[in-house]
Amino acid sequence: MHTLSISDVLSSVSNDKSLVLFNNIALASGKTNILRDRLKLTRKQYYSRISELRTAGLIIRNNGTYFLTSFGKIVYEAQMLIGKAVQSYWKLKAIDSIESSPDSPRLPAEEHKRIIDTLVDCNDIKDILLDHNNNIAATQKEKVYNNNEIIVSVPAKRSSVQFNTSY
C-alpha cells in the first residue's frame, strides 16, 4: 500500500493544467476524450496528470468517467478556500500590518475581531483567523516534533483533530 503525504497531494495539483483538470473533474466529471480535448493536452500530458491525481487518491474512474473520491472532494474544497484567500490577499496583508505594527500594543480581542469582520468577506476565512487567534491566546495549540514526524493537535469546535504527517 502506498503511503500518501501532503506533498504528494499538493504536487498532483500544483501544475496549472493539472489543477484545471482536477477542477473540471470536480465540476463536471468527465469522459477521457472530452477532458483531453477541452484542455488541449497531448495524450501523454493528459494521462500523466490523470495518473498523478489517481495516485494521490483524488480521483477514480468508473465506466470511462472520472469522479472525485471523498478525499478528492475535501482537497477540492480546501483549494477553493485557498483561492478565496488569494482573492483576499491584500486584506489579509492589511490585518498582518495592523497586528505587527511596532508602534501599537497587542490589540484587544474585540478590536481584532472587528477588524477581521470589517475587512474579510468570506466566513470560512474569518473563522480560521478568529479561531487561530483564540487558540494562540488560550495556548491550546500544541506542536510536537519527533525525528521525522510533525504532530499537530488543534482543538476543534466539536472534537479534537489530529494531523500526523511524515516527511
**H or E element, residue 22:** helix 16-28
Q: Residue 137's pLDDT is what?
A: 52
Nearest by Cα to 8 from 51, 64, 44: 51
**Can you list the domains of the chain with their CATH numbers?**
6-76 (1.10.10.10), 90-137 (no CATH)
What pTM was computed for the model?
0.72
Q: Residue 145's pLDDT is what?
A: 47
Q: Residue 84's pLDDT is what?
A: 95
* C-alpha span between 57 and 76 (Å, rounded): 12
- C-beta neighbour count of 23 within 10 angstroms: 15
Answer whether 163's CB lies under 8 Å from 152's CB: yes
Instruction: List average pLDDT for each run of 10 residues in the chain, which is 167 residues long.
Output: 82 92 86 78 91 95 91 96 95 88 75 90 92 60 48 45 46
* C-alpha span between 36 and 68 (Å, rounded): 17
Nearest by Cα to 112 from 100, 102, 124, 121: 100
Q: Residue 155's pLDDT is what?
A: 45
